[in-house]
Structure formats: C-alpha cells, structure tokens
A = this chain, B = another copy of it.
Amino acid sequence: MTQINELDTPSLILDKPKLEKNIAFAQARARELGVVWRPHLKTHKCIEIARMQLDGACGPATVSTVREAEYFAAAGITDLIYAVGIAPHKLARIDALNRAGADVKIILDNVPAAQAVSRFCRENQSKIGVLIEIDCDGHRSGLKPNDPAMVEVASSLTDGARFLGVLTHAGESYNARTTQEIEAAAASESQALTDACALLSEAGFACSIVSVGSTPTFVRTRKRFGSVTEYRSGVGAFYDLVMAGLGVCKVEDIALSVLVSVIGWQEDKSWIITDGGFLAMSRDRGTASQSVDCGYGLVCDVEGNLIEDLWVKQCNQEHGVICRRDGAPFDVKAYALDTKLRILPNHACPTAAAFEAYNVVQGQTVTAVWQRCNRW
C-alpha cells in the first residue's frame, strides 16, 4: 500500500479516522436536537463521504451546484436541495434529474424567479419543489423574515412549482468572535424561520421543510428552536482553521491537509520554501480577521502532528514560504530537502476544490483515493 511519503506533491490528504469522528459528531448532534441532518455536500463533493454521512440513504442532502446534483443523483442520492438561488436557465438540468427519479428542490427569493419556475413547469409539465430563501442576518440573499413579499413569492408558485418551505443560512456566524455570539446567531437563524413560517402559514402556505444551518450554528446551538425541521452543515465534515478559530472544533479535529515538499530555504530569513503555493492552498485567508491569523495555513509533520510556531507566511502560485510566526531564527535545514509536511487550510472548501481527489489515509497508509466532483 502507498505510504504518504511516497505521494507526489502537492497532494490532498484526508485523515479517515478524523473524518469518521466529525461525521459521527454531526449525526449525534442532529439526534440530540431532534432534527433531520441535511449535510451540505459542497465541501467534499465526494460520493464516498456523502454515503458515510447518510449511512447509505438517498438523502437528505444539500448541494451548491447543478453539477453536484447530477453527480450525487447519479450515485443514488436523490433527496437534494440546490441551495443557491435559481437562475432560470438551470431549470432544464434540474428537471432532467427529477424526470429521472430524483427530487431536487430549488430555492428562490423573488417574484420573477417564482414566475419563471412556474412558467417552466407549465410549459414542460414539470414538477419542482421550491423553498423560499430567508435572510436571517444580512449576509447575502433572501427575504427578511417579516417581509410580506414572501407571500407574493409563494403565491407566484403555480402549476408544477410546489411551495415546500423556507431555508436560511447564518453566514454571519463565521464572523462571530465568541461562543455567545455563535449561540446568538443560532437562535436568530431559527427565530427568523419561525417568523417566516408564521407569516406564510397565516397566508395559507404551510412549511413542510424549515431548513437552517451553518457549521458554527449547528455545533453551538443549545437546542432546537421553533419550527425548525432540519439543519444543514458542510465544512464540519473536515473542519478547518477558520472553524478552529471560532472554537467550533480543535485544530487536531481538522481532517484535511495538503501534503507539500521542502524545495529550498532562505537561511538568512529562516524561511523554508515548499511546493505548496496558492493553487494548492487556495487564496483563502479566512483567519486573517480572526484573533489568531494562521497565514496560509499551519504546519504539521508528515504524521499530522502540529509543529508549534510555524505557519505558511506567504504563497505564490506554486511556492509556499514557511517560517516562525514570530519571525525568529531557527534551523531551517533541519527540514531536509524533499521533507514532506502537511499544511492545514484556512478554509477546507476552496482548498479541497483545487484537487480532483482525496488521498484517504489511516496513519501513514493511503487506503483509498476518492474522486471529487468539481466545477459546474
């Protein structure tokens, strides 16, 4: 069996025991809260991981691209929400999946989109389930939870366009500075949908799906609130330095890393140069605004043990520069040429997206190679 040390670099490493532990935690969390867990597959985009999360069931799950929907549906995961506001030109691909037996639901937050979906369903004799997106925290899309426009949107769903419920995402929880702020974001996320449900219900639109979620709010919510039926979470399968910075996981829970090789040094600056640049790590600097900036990543040895005080200070396209966080001199040549190091990423989603496959490891052995479904 291939050992990590034998892999070419840069390569993507997925620690299977950590992955299993993270998935088990999320499953237990959902049971504890008494909600359905609808994992967001956008972080991993990988059928083997989705099957672990769903214990082999056909859903429920969440996707962020039509291509993910196509890929997962073809592999038998058919109960999906495509959780990005629909662009009408994408309806034909969604409809093709549903005609082939899937149940891909879409989201939208405006009357023109609802009309476009209804028109599409009328013209094609199609059936598509629709959720209205609610904006619980000003993060990006969605109607405010008290906006009466949502009744107009729901009323605009006709023909095969079937109103199913509401969905929100507490994206601002990523910017929380304390556990209390995350707990507050979780409460306000659920309250927003409880309010939206009440407003729609009064107007005669019952919500069968009431979907909230972000990894921070899922991990830190104290209880199930209001009429919430399900939680979505994505990055919690792997975790990353942003989540560790939020206190949502520990650094040692991070299942994903990028294997790099030492290619040189700048001894006078105490720099180690590696072949792990920004195409491998991504340009994400999510920890830059947190209390502890982790640069382009923290550094582990090939066994995955964190090397205290080192970070990836800068990246070019195919170069990474590792040094001490405090800039202090150290014996850089103790890291010999071609030494393998594992870099923990700021944000697992863009880092994983740089690769086509995971090298799944248990200890130092690569036990499997799992493909990803990238792009659109």
Report the stretch among A27-35, A247-255, A313-321 that lies at the interface.
Answer: A313-321
Given contacts A113-B263, A116-B338, 8 further A-B contacts (CB under 8 A): A9-B87, A42-B318, A64-B318, A88-B337, A113-B337, A139-B316, A141-B266, A171-B316
CB of A283 to closest CB in B, whole Å: 4
Residues of chain A whose beta carbon lies under 8 Å from any beta carbon of chain B: 8-11, 42, 64-66, 84-90, 93, 108-110, 112-113, 116, 135, 138-141, 171, 261-266, 269, 271, 273, 275, 278-280, 282-285, 314, 316-319, 321, 336-338, 349-350, 353-356, 375-376
19 contacts between A and B (CB under 8 A): A8-B90, A11-B376, A84-B319, A85-B275, A87-B275, A88-B338, A109-B264, A110-B265, A112-B337, A139-B316, A140-B266, A140-B273, A140-B321, A279-B349, A279-B350, A283-B350, A317-B349, A317-B350, A355-B375
**How many chain copies?**
2
Q: A263 touches which one: B141, B264, B353 (CB < 8 A)?
A: B141
CB of A320 to closest CB in B, whole Å: 9
CB of A180 to closest CB in B, whole Å: 24
Q: State the CA gap A284–B9 with chains docked (Å).
A: 22
Q: State the CA gap A138–B266 with chains docked (Å).
A: 9
CB of A311 to closest CB in B, whole Å: 16
Q: Which residues of B contact A317 (CB under 8 A)?
A: 42, 64, 349-350
Q: A140 touches which one: B89, B112, B135, B316 (CB < 8 A)?
A: B316
Q: State the CA gap A301–B7 with chains docked (Å).
A: 45
Of chain B, the residue at the smallest CB distance from A321 is: B140
Task: Establish whether residues A141 and B8, one from each chain, have CB atoms under 8 Å apart when the complex forms.
Answer: no
Q: A319 touches which one: B112, B140, B321 (CB < 8 A)?
A: B140
Q: State the CA gap A330–B84 with chains docked (Å).
A: 24
Q: Which residues of B contact A271 (CB under 8 A)?
A: 140
Residue from A8, A109, A280, A349 having most chain B Cβ neighbours under 10 A: A8
Task: Establish whether residues A110 and B337, one from each chain, have CB atoms under 8 Å apart when the complex forms.
Answer: yes
Q: Which residues of B contact A9 (CB under 8 A)?
A: 87, 89, 376
Q: Which residues of B contact A85 (CB under 8 A)?
A: 263-264, 273, 275
Q: Which residues of B contact A285 (CB under 8 A)?
A: 283
CB of A66 to closest CB in B, whole Å: 8
Q: A89 touches which one: B269, B338, B350 (CB < 8 A)?
A: B338
**A84 and B321 in contact, given A263-B141, A285-B283 (Cβ under 8 angstroms):** no
Task: Establish whether residues A261 and B87, one from each chain, have CB atoms under 8 Å apart when the complex forms.
Answer: yes
Task: Establish whether residues B337 and A279, one from each chain, have CB atoms under 8 Å apart when the complex forms.
Answer: no
Of chain B, the residue at the smallest CB distance from A63 is: B318
Q: State the CA gap A312–B194 with chains docked (Å).
A: 32
Q: State the CA gap A375–B88 with chains docked (Å).
A: 32
Task: Establish whether residues B318 and A84, one from each chain, have CB atoms under 8 Å apart when the complex forms.
Answer: yes
Of chain B, the residue at the smallest CB distance from A269 is: B138
Of chain B, the residue at the smallest CB distance from A264 is: B85
Task: Establish whether residues B319 and A141, one from each chain, have CB atoms under 8 Å apart when the complex forms.
Answer: yes
Q: Which residues of B contact A11 (CB under 8 A)?
A: 376
Task: Establish whether residues B353 and A279, one from each chain, have CB atoms under 8 Å apart when the complex forms.
Answer: yes
CB of A105 to closest CB in B, whole Å: 16
| A-B pairs with lowest CB-CB distance, top 8 | A283-B283, A85-B263, A87-B261, A112-B337, A283-B284, A85-B264, A64-B318, A84-B318
Q: State the CA gap A152–B42 with chains docked (Å).
A: 50
Q: State the CA gap A140–B320 with chains docked (Å).
A: 9
CB of A82 to closest CB in B, whole Å: 10
Q: State the CA gap A11–B376 with chains docked (Å).
A: 8
Q: Which residues of B contact A84 (CB under 8 A)?
A: 263, 275, 318-319
